[in-house]
Structure 1
Amino acid sequence: MSRRTPKLWYHQGTLLLHPPPRGKVWLDFATWDDRVEKFRIPAIHYRALVEALQQEEICFTDEAKAFYSLHLNPRFEMTPYSHQAEALQQWKEAGRQGVVVLPTAAGKTYLAQLAMEATPRTTLIVVPTLDLMHQWYAQLEAAFPDIELGLLGGGSHDRSSILVATYQSAAIHAEALGNQYALLIFDECHHLPTDFYRVIAESAIAPYRLGLTATPERSDGNERELEALIGSIVFRKTPQTLSGEALARYKTVEIKVKLSPKEKETYQEAIKTRNQFLKQKRISLSNLKGWQLFVKESARSQQGRRAMLAHRQAKEIALGTESKLRVLTELITKHSPEPILIFTNDNATVYRISQDFLIPAITHQTPVKERHLILQKFKTGDYKTLVASHVLNEGVDVPDARIAIILSGTSSTREYVQRLGRILRKGNTKDKQAILYEVIAEETSEERTSERRRGDTASKQGQLKIFSPTQKAAEEKGDYNLD
């Protein structure tokens, strides 16, 4: 009796393999499922499984893949910057799997287009916001006018050979998308390693994966999971290394302001109240876990509530001291009528500046149409200055500016790099010199916050080339081919 040929197929976000092939190499990937009486394999292991079966010359029928080749003819081609060409080459040498870390404005979207041209297969691009989804769609439509493009998110539910989706929508439809695309591109890929979004990568059989981000590091440390979901970091550049080449030259100016005697007295008293409680409860605010414990303990007693209120009061004083607003007045006067971006850490300060200085403001509460109108008027020069909190950090196409002022922010390196990136696009100005002002309240927690967000960027200059063992094997074997 002749042995039946094993068949591999996609089923509910996973793979089924039946009847069992000869040999044992495939057992490393498989788990027996009593419900269907077949071996089940995580979809993310599709490439490794197929390579293992092919290496052992085991015959099987592949009914899992529904992706296919495309004929991509770009309408426009630009000579890539050296860092883009190098990043593409490193990604290809790593088996077309991995993460590329480039600062905001360094051309990550065009790098993705180059990766698509080098890997012409059905492609799913995943982005964090609807604004970014439409930006990607517009750029890809201009680049590949003859290819069917689609959107998934914001009311759109297309099925197309190249699909741009939000993380939210892609996660919801992960099982349906899982075997349709050969190339996955994760924009702002630091969003991926969460309990909800990771299913996009885990349910996909895509053999090729590209992650793009300015800062992969996360406060919860889950950036280490990107290697399993996408691949290792294959290329990395910082704003410092690209300054004057692909990005505008820039300088950062730190301005320290003093609290008024009354502000200082109130601040110190509030910090004392908070610290007494932290010491009593043996809580350190040096990490996220400590902060979560503080929030938990502060809700359990009147003393805890007083400590939390004191913490907030001290923070409000440091973030919104009158001295900062006086410096802001001087900086706006100095650089007027140049376009200026002002960033704060809270909406209350945004609205205060907007009212006091008659400056248009954008927060998460700003309606989409109004936000687009404000950004358009800023782009055309009708508005010279714009103030925002966190909403412009990521996922919004901000017009070119040369001056940015950070009045307050978090300790996040990502936020700092993103805000800096808002003024680093060269545009049509050949010798553009960008300036990032950082206004800090002296002798407050803001000094340490500033050091933390800037310190990481200084230590990550240059390029990192890191390969996982599986990527090294892929490099030695050459390009992977499923056709």
Structure 2
Amino acid sequence: MKKELYQWQEECLERWFSNNGRGIVQAVTGAGKTFLALTAAARLEKRLGRRLRVKIVVPTAALMRQWNQALREFLTDSCGDKGNSGDIRGEIGLRGGGHKGENGRRYMIYVINSARYELARKILAELRGGEAVLLIADECHHYGSGQNSLIFEFLPYIKPCGENFFSLGLSATLPAGEERQYLSSVLGREIYSYGMEEAGAMRTVCRYDIFHIGLEFRKEEREEYEEISEQMSRLSHKLQQMYPALRELGQRERYAMLSQITGGGDKRAAEAAARYLALSYKRKSVVCLASERVSCVCALIERLDVKKGILIFGERVSQAEELYGILQNKYPGRVGRYHSKMGRQANKNVLERFYTGEIHILIACKAMDEGVDIPEASVGIVLSGTASKRQRVQRLGRIIRKKEGKGRASLYYLHIADTSEDSCFLPETKESRIFEIEYQPGRHGFSHPIYDVAAEELIEDAENTGMDREKVEEVKRCLEIGQVRADWMMGQEEIEGKTQDAGRVRERNYWVCMKRMGRLRENRK
């Protein structure tokens, strides 16, 4: 059955065609940018009344495989009974990520590393040969500077045949400043923006809950963090006296300027800047590798439904491996890991196992921050929050992608209190709910103030009505699980349905407790 476009996609295509088939689309991860782009190509070819050459550029081999699969499915749906899988495969060529497909196929998908040195020449040759060409730049924020921008080298030479060139840039998080201006100059202006607020309201992504989990340093970690911060403060004061402009810059611009100073002629300033940057990296490592992170994730997973797809995002491979060892011992055969040191085939295999439900917990490092489509995941746990805003949005996007039968998604965001992480939160929208909880390592548990007040009332009521000790302990167990979930916020009818569907007594008990918690919440409104 053919997929239908969402309303936002139709509006977006209308604007793209009004802009002569040029432009950039900024849309939240999971909203359907791939399908939008393939539909744009199909409609453009129909309008032109002749064959269109489509060039798709992606940043990674994993994304190339994903686009290849999406393109084959799209062409199969479009052809119906008229085509077969062999014909469709013959239309698609892959370049990069170990693939060296024939470069002249109708649809070409390039990994950027391969595209840099051949794509511009190929597009120019096809345009001069009278062909119509559409360039789709996926995750286009990668192509605004450095060697990656070589893919646009052909543009100054296409004037005689420029009416046959079309472009579409796609990104969830466009860069600011000069890079954004450059991308607009080569791909066309930003024609449409579709954010989390709109996507949630129009149900193009799952509704979601965000849990901010506060952690504490251990004593020695706090001392190290404060010592590094003090050294950085002294160096910052010294550098600002030498370069007053540093005072006016944002963090990103300040770090860029400090990097330039390290290579400058002023030896004293260069040494101070280099020392500051080294300390900054060291401080980030102290925050990122704080001991309580792994302990907190283990406590959290004990309270979550392991049958659901749980995606854990780490910053460092060593941390991911440590957590993998602990969880694999606890949940044998149900845990996998995905990171740059695993190798392409191993990563591909573990993703397939996660897709099919063979494993339920997947620990991933930055290799999965961008583009990889995992609709099976409905729970995300961010081990470390020191990543950029782009990475935070992309990680949320991994778990809010829609899939039939998938309910609300949940993102657990771990952060160390009183550090630079405190401001790394995602914005609240009308379709999201945000909860503030704290991890308490001494009892391997959590504190959730609003929830805990109602839970204590429920326990007190159970004890006062003469409930025997064993049943009171069961109530406490159920309430402890609910402390890190949003099930108590469900409507009474929905909870009743969950209670009826429960297959085990312990599961049924849990939903009975959540129903009572929900009533307490309603009574307090």
- In the superposition, the TM-score normalised over structure 2's length comes to 0.67
In the alignment, the residues of structure 2 paired with residue 429 and residue 402 of structure 1 have an alpha-carbon distance, to the nearest angstrom, of 11
- 1:276-309 CA distances to partner (integer Å, 9 max, x unpaired)? 1222122568433432454566796787776555
What stretches of structure 2 of length at least 5 have no aligned partner? 46-51, 77-82, 127-131, 159-163, 241-245, 329-334, 433-525
In the alignment, the residues of structure 2 paired with residue 150 and residue 307 of structure 1 have an alpha-carbon distance, to the nearest angstrom, of 47
Counterparts of 1:38-437 in structure 2, within 5 Å, are 77-120=2-45, 121-145=52-76, 146=83, 148-153=91-96, 154-158=98-102, 159-173=104-118, 174-180=120-126, 181-204=132-155, 205=158, 206-217=164-175, 221-243=178-200, 245-282=203-240, 286-294=250-258, 307=276, 310-337=279-306, 338-358=308-328, 359-429=335-405, 432-437=407-412
- The aligned amino acid for 1:376 is E
Query: Mean Cα displacement is larger for which, 188-197 or 364-373?
Result: 188-197
SS of 1:96's equivalent in the other structure is coil
Task: Quote how far apart the aligned CAs of 1:79 are.
Answer: 1.3
In the alignment, the residues of structure 1 paired with residue 217 and residue 257 of structure 2 have an alpha-carbon distance, to the nearest angstrom, of 30
What stretches of structure 1 of length at least 5 have no aligned partner? 1-75, 462-483
Tell me which protein shows more helix as a share of its residues.
2
- 1:25-63 CA distances to partner (integer Å, 9 max, x unpaired)? xxxxxxxxxxxxxxxxxxxxxxxxxxxxxxxxxxxxxxx
The question of whether the paired residues in 1 share the 8 Å contact of 2:324 and 2:337 is answered with: yes
- The aligned amino acid for 1:339 is G
Q: 1:112 to 1:298 in 2, by over 3 A?
A: closer
In the alignment, which residue of structure 2 is the partner of 1:62? none
- The aligned amino acid for 1:178 is L
Q: 1:149 to 1:305 in 2, by over 3 A?
A: closer
In the alignment, the residues of structure 2 paired with residue 307 and residue 122 of structure 1 have an alpha-carbon distance, to the nearest angstrom, of 50
In the alignment, the residues of structure 2 paired with residue 228 and residue 306 of structure 1 have an alpha-carbon distance, to the nearest angstrom, of 38
The question of whether the paired residues in 2 share the 8 Å contact of 1:248 and 1:434 is answered with: yes
- The aligned amino acid for 1:77 is K
In the alignment, the residues of structure 2 paired with residue 427 and residue 368 of structure 1 have an alpha-carbon distance, to the nearest angstrom, of 26
- The aligned amino acid for 1:155 is H
SS of 1:178's equivalent in the other structure is helix
In the alignment, the residues of structure 2 paired with residue 271 and residue 339 of structure 1 have an alpha-carbon distance, to the nearest angstrom, of 38
SS of 1:101's equivalent in the other structure is strand
In the alignment, the residues of structure 1 paired with residue 223 and residue 61 of structure 2 have an alpha-carbon distance, to the nearest angstrom, of 45
In the alignment, the residues of structure 1 paired with residue 262 and residue 235 of structure 2 have an alpha-carbon distance, to the nearest angstrom, of 9
- The aligned amino acid for 1:123 is V
Q: 1:183 to 1:281 in 2, by over 3 A?
A: same
The question of whether the paired residues in 2 share the 8 Å contact of 1:344 and 1:409 is answered with: no
Task: Quote how far apart the aligned CAs of 1:399 are.
Answer: 4.8
Q: 1:410 to 1:332 in 2, by over 3 A?
A: same
SS of 2:303's equivalent in the other structure is helix
Task: Quote how far apart the aligned CAs of 1:207 are.
Answer: 2.5
Task: Quote how far apart the aligned CAs of 1:420 are.
Answer: 0.6
Task: Quote how far apart the aligned CAs of 1:310 are.
Answer: 4.1
The question of whether the paired residues in 1 share the 8 Å contact of 2:239 and 2:273 is answered with: no
The question of whether the paired residues in 2 share the 8 Å contact of 1:400 and 1:422 is answered with: no
Query: Mean Cα displacement is larger for which, 238-247 or 309-318?
Result: 309-318
The question of whether the paired residues in 1 share the 8 Å contact of 2:312 and 2:362 is answered with: yes
The question of whether the paired residues in 2 share the 8 Å contact of 1:362 and 1:389 is answered with: yes
The question of whether the paired residues in 1 share the 8 Å contact of 2:64 and 2:111 is answered with: yes
Q: 1:314 to 1:214 in 2, by over 3 A?
A: same
In the alignment, which residue of structure 1 is the partner of 2:518? none
- The aligned amino acid for 1:355 is G
In the alignment, the residues of structure 1 paired with residue 362 and residue 381 of structure 2 have an alpha-carbon distance, to the nearest angstrom, of 10
Identity %: 27
SS of 1:87's equivalent in the other structure is helix
In the alignment, the residues of structure 2 paired with residue 141 and residue 235 of structure 1 have an alpha-carbon distance, to the nearest angstrom, of 26
- The aligned amino acid for 1:434 is A
The question of whether the paired residues in 1 share the 8 Å contact of 2:375 and 2:402 is answered with: no
- 1:446-477 CA distances to partner (integer Å, 9 max, x unpaired)? 113x04xx36x97xx9xxxxxxxxxxxxxxxx
In the alignment, the residues of structure 2 paired with residue 209 and residue 308 of structure 1 have an alpha-carbon distance, to the nearest angstrom, of 39
Which residue, 440, 444, 447 being the options, matches 2:415?
A: 440
In the alignment, the residues of structure 1 paired with residue 168 and residue 278 of structure 2 have an alpha-carbon distance, to the nearest angstrom, of 44
In the alignment, the residues of structure 2 paired with residue 331 and residue 88 of structure 1 have an alpha-carbon distance, to the nearest angstrom, of 43
Q: 1:340 to 1:271 in 2, by over 3 A?
A: same
- In the superposition, the TM-score normalised over structure 1's length comes to 0.72
SS of 2:67's equivalent in the other structure is helix
Q: How many residues align?
A: 379
The question of whether the paired residues in 2 share the 8 Å contact of 1:392 and 1:398 is answered with: no
Q: 1:298 to 1:226 in 2, by over 3 A?
A: closer
In the alignment, the residues of structure 2 paired with residue 171 and residue 333 of structure 1 have an alpha-carbon distance, to the nearest angstrom, of 47
Task: Quote how far apart the aligned CAs of 1:317 are.
Answer: 2.4
The question of whether the paired residues in 1 share the 8 Å contact of 2:239 and 2:272 is answered with: no
Question: What is the root-mean-square deviation of aligned Cα atoms in Å?
Answer: 2.7
In the alignment, the residues of structure 2 paired with residue 162 and residue 305 of structure 1 have an alpha-carbon distance, to the nearest angstrom, of 46
